[in-house]
């Protein structure tokens, strides 16, 4: 799963990026509104963490532009402004959640997980497909209750497929969501990760629809 962090405070941006990366997300960072607008309209993200006080373009203007352009990723607003009036404006501008500074990083992670989960139509914190269970809160994956060890890329592939288990996911879409913007996005390596996952979570757990993509099998 891929997250954009738009935050101009260097220390906080690094802290958020490190925490999200450690939680298994691919993270891109933007330090100003212009850069964030470009990334949000040219890249595909599963969630955005957006500071309102960005230079070059404020967060509310940026958010309105994103929504007008059709960008649908859930957005968590971060701001030093804590009044209810600012919250109303943020939500009405297209935000999905709102946090006032200062905050605990753990709460940011929890809210990002919830936004991504709800965007995929999942009510339970843990994702399930047949015998497979993936818990985004802990990064733990089990099959029939037994823990399975995955590499970071294998976890990202499985997480994305399970978040979107009701539809086909193409190789190119997977590549977009498991690599950061500056990484080499070779969609052919997705086949390698899928093959490894099948050996670890079950040969029939992930179906291939030739020419179209992949889909999780199991209720």
Assigned token pair, 207: 């179906």
Ordered domains of the chain (ranges, CATH): 2-119 (3.40.50.2300), 127-216 (1.10.10.10)
Region of residue 110 (phi > 0: left; psi between -120 and 50: alpha; otherwise: beta):
alpha
In the numeric block, the tokens 């969630």 are attached to 47
* Secondary element (H or E) of residue 178: helix 171-178
Beta strands (DSSP E) in 125-168 are: 127-129, 132-135, 140-143, 146-148
- For residue range 57-104, list pLDDT tens digits in order: 999 999 999 999 999 999 999 887 666 677 787 788 889 999 988 889
pLDDT at 79: 84
> Which pLDDT band, with edges at 50, 70 and 90, does 219 fall under?
low
pLDDT at 35: 95
pLDDT at 92: 82
Dist. CA 169–CA 29, nearest whole Å: 25
Mean pLDDT of 188-201: 92
Dist. CA 39–CA 65, nearest whole Å: 12
> Which pLDDT band, with edges at 50, 70 and 90, does 189 fall under?
confident
Mean pLDDT of 20-47: 94
Burial 10-23 (b: 16+ CB within 10 A, else e): eebbeebbebbeeb
User: 4 pLDDT exceeds 60?
Assistant: yes
Mean pLDDT of 131-160: 93
CA 1-131-196 angle, 5° bins:
55
pTM for the predicted model, two decimal places: 0.81
- For residue range 152-182, list pLDDT tens digits in order: 999 999 999 999 988 899 998 998 888 877 7
Dist. CA 154–CA 132, nearest whole Å: 14
pLDDT at 81: 67
To 10 degrees, what angle do helices 171-178 and 188-201 make? 90
> Which pLDDT band, with edges at 50, 70 and 90, does 124 fall under?
confident
- For residue range 7-33, list pLDDT tens digits in order: 999 999 999 999 999 999 999 999 999
């Amino acid at each position: 799963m891929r997250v954009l962090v738009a935050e101009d405070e260097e220390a906080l941006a690094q802290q958020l990026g490190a925490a999200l990366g450690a939680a298994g997300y691919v993270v891109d960072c933007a330090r100003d509104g212009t850069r964030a607008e470009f990334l949000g309209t040219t890249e595909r993200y599963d969630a955005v963490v957006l500071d309102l006080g960005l230079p070059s373009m404020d967060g509310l203007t940026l958010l309105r532009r994103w929504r007008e352009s059709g960008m649908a990723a859930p957005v968590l607003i971060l701001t030093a402004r804590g009044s209810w009036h600012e919250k109303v404006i943020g939500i009405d501008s297209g935000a999905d959640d709102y946090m006032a500074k200062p905050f605990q990083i753990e709460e940011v992670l929890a809210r990002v997980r919830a936004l991504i989960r709800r965007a995929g139509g999942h009510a339970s914190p843990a994702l399930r497909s047949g015998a497979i269970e993936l818990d985004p809160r802990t990064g733990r994956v089990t099959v029939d209750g037994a823990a399975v060890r995955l590499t970071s890329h294998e976890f990202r592939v499985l997480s994305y497929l399970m978040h979107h288990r009701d539809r086909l996911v193409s190789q190119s879409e997977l590549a977009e969501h498991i690599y950061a913007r500056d990484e080499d996005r070779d969609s052919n390596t997705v086949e390698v990760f899928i093959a490894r996952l099948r050996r670890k979570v079950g040969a029939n757990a992930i179906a291939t629809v030739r020419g179209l993509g992949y889909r999780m099998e199991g209720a």
